[in-house]
Amino acid sequence: MIEELNTLLSDLENEDAKLIEIGKNLIKTNGMTEFTFFCNSILNRTINLNRGYITLVKDSNYIAAAPLVRLNLDSLLRLFASTQSEFDVDTFAKNVRKGKAIRKMKYFKNKKERLTDRKLVEIIKEIKGFKWTEKIYEAGSGYVHLSNQHFYSSVKIVGVDTVESGIRKTDEYIPEKEKIAGTYYMQQASKGIRIFIDDWIEARKKHFV
């Protein structure tokens, strides 16, 4: 399992170059627009969240790393929202820059619905390859807010009547398979961000053919 985790961490580290390349392609295709700046902020955030996650996991601090999975999903949802709002992507990006909350924006298919995180997950999970977002949205929130997940990160059930617990600077009570899953979904969110921006770039190119 340790080998599998190290491989996933290496793959996540390799996301950096891919995210930077997508950013370059976006600038080349779209120029320096409001939407480009918006995407750049997401790409920059993703690279640094990935970097922080890798550092924390390698330092046996998955408790601090786990909430970053939810933050990466947050970036993916914000990017996805730019294509689901009542505004064009540049107006959307400008509104975000000026501080307008995405959750207060309207869904373009139904102006009575707002683009809350839950609504965005409800939409994006129906896209092929993004069903996992629902699971991470629910589980990730449990790591952001104090919950039973934090309880089990400090407790190990040894036997029927035996429980081991402690306050330590380590994540020894967290199963390796949980770290593997977290790293996998961290990469999936990063990859999803690249996919959405790349798809937008390709659609933009076709528009001017």
- 115-124: list long-range contacts, CB under 8 Å, 24+ apart: 115/81, 115/84, 115/85, 117/74, 117/77, 120/77, 120/80, 120/81, 120/84, 121/77, 123/80, 123/84, 124/76, 124/77, 124/80
With a cut of 90, say whether residue 194 has pLDDT above it. yes
Spatial CA neighbour of 106 closest among 84, 123, 122: 84
Residue 160 has pLDDT above 70, yes or no: no
pLDDT of 13 strictly over 90 = yes
The pLDDT-based confidence of 164 (bands split at 50, 70, 90) is low
Instruction: Return the pLDDT at 95.
Output: 97
Residue (of 130, 131, 114) closest to 196 by Cα position: 130
Give residue 142's pLDDT band: very low, low, confident or very high (50, 70, 90): low
Give the pLDDT confidence score for residue 175 in this predicted structure.
86
In three-state secondary structure terms, 157 is strand
- Rounded average pLDDT over 190-202: 96
Assess whether pLDDT exceeds 70 at residue 10: yes
pLDDT band at 45 (very low <50, low <70, confident <90, very high): very high
Partnered with residue 165 across adjacent β-strands are 155
147 pLDDT above the threshold of 50: no
Helices (H) and strands (E) counted in the chain, each on its own, are 9, 4
Q: Write down the pLDDT at residue 146.
A: 47
Average pLDDT over residues 163-185: 82
Residue 143 has pLDDT above 70, yes or no: no
pTM: 0.88
**pLDDT, tens digit (0-9, with 9 covering 90-100), for 93-128:** 999 999 999 999 999 999 999 999 999 999 999 999
The mean pLDDT of the chain is 89
3-class state of residue 156 by DSSP: strand
Query: Is the separation of the CB atoms in 69 and 186 below 8 Å?
Result: yes
Q: Is the pLDDT score of 149 beyond 60? A: no
